[in-house]
Every structure is written in structure tokens, then in C-alpha cells.
Amino acid sequence: MELVIDRLSKQYGSKIAVDRISAKLGKGVYGLLGANGAGKTTLMRMICGILKPTSGSVSFDGIDSEEEDFRAILGYLPQDFGYYPDFNAYDFLFYLSSLKAIPKKEAKAKINELLEVVGLREVAKKKIKTYSGGMKQRLGIAQALLNDPKLLILDEPTAGLDPKERVRFRNLIEKLGKDCIVLLSTHIVSDIEHISDEVLIMKDGSFIFQGKWNDKESSLEDFYLSQFEEGEDSE
């Protein structure tokens, strides 16, 4: 199981949003850190195959990101996603199950299981427009897990979750990371501090750090900030 990102770039006019990023990710949890505008969302969208790169490629076990088979193993939670106001949680997840080509019977069982996991079982028949921000986010997490993805891309997944929900989420990701590749971007360092196998720090479209960090030497937050300072010093 390997995600290969090969010299991926995205350019908008004269602005380079993602600058020749390469990486090989195996099973585990990868935390993607970076300031606003670093290019994290652009990178994640290209990995998911929903944004055409200017150059470079992404493949999972040899399957290119533009192919249907790639999307079959993908679970994606965008940073800012919408919903159909008149759908309830069941409708939304059934609809997405059909998009993910999950047979009906299997979908029903999976949806019930996921609604239990994200704590939305009791409000599943209510319309999404009545949900709080945290409930919508949990629904988003549920839809990303519908097809038991081998590659899970989560863009700021804990936004809107309260501390208790964040802990639950972290435990879930840690468990998932044992069987699939999880790439998780966040501003909340504590989300990935103890669960990420590797940290990817992004700045101005490039990785300025990629690897494991030693939690005995310093906290991840200090480590993260120090990378930026080092970057500034070298400039």
C-alpha cells in the first residue's frame, strides 16, 4: 500500500500554490501542518484527483489519481463542504454510498455503524439544515469512511468539534491508520501530536520538513514553530 506523489505542482498565473512536491506514503497517519495559504488544501485536492495539477502525478499502488479505481479506495473530507438542506443524514449517506458504488444492503449496514461511531444515530432522520456545525462535521467524517477507504484525506477534520469529540476522533484516526494511509491537515497541533507517524510541514507550496519528530526533545508545536524560524534564518 503506497501513495506516490511525484513532483506535483500547481500554478495559478504567476503564483505557485504547490511547488514540485514529492513523497511516498505508506500505511499510517501523516499530519500535514502549515500556515494559512501554505498550499495544504490545494495539495490535498490534487491528491484526491479533483483538481488538475499543472504538472506531476499522484498514484496509489500504481493507479493514477484520475482513474475511477483510485476514487474507489479514496475517502475525502474537504475543509469546507456543503450538504443538501432537505436531505437528512440517512439520505446524505445513502446518496454518497451510491456515489461510492456501495451496494444497497451493505450501505445500510455501514451507514448505521458509522452513525453510531460519529454519534449521530439519534438525529439521523432530521434534516441536515437543523444540525449544528459540529454535527455537520461529524457527518462529513462519516461519509469519508463509507467505502472503507485505503487512502483517507482529511482537510481540517476537527474544525467545529468540541474537545470530547476531538478525542474520539483522534482515537478513530489512530485505529484507521493501522490499516490505511491517513493524511490529515490541521492547525490544531494536538490533533496529530500523539497519533501521527510522520509530520509534513508545508510552507509556500513546498515541504520544509517531512519525517518523524522526537517527542522527547520538544513538543510538536515548538518543533513546528522552530521549523519556521529555521526557514526564516536561512533566508
Q: Which residues are at the interface with other proteins (CB under 8 A)?
A: 45, 48-52, 68-69, 71-72, 74, 76, 78, 80-87, 91, 94-104, 132-133, 143, 147
CB of 74 to other proteins, least distance (A): 6
* Angle at 226 (CA atoms; ends 191, 189), nearest 5 degrees: 5
In the complex with other proteins, the residue whose CB is nearer, 37 or 133, is 133
Please tell me the distance from the alpha carbon of residue 210 to that of residue 221, in angstroms, as a whole number: 15
In the complex with other proteins, the residue whose CB is nearer, 90 or 228, is 90
Helices (H), 118-161: 133-144
In the complex with other proteins, the residue whose CB is nearer, 93 or 195, is 93
In the complex with other proteins, the residue whose CB is nearer, 82 or 163, is 82
Q: What is the secondary structure of 12-59 as a DSSP string?
A: ETTEEEEEEEEEEE-SEEEEEEE-TTSSHHHHHHHHHTSS--SEEEEE
CB of 235 to other proteins, least distance (A): 31
Residue whose cell numbers read 493514477: 64
CB of 57 to other proteins, least distance (A): 15
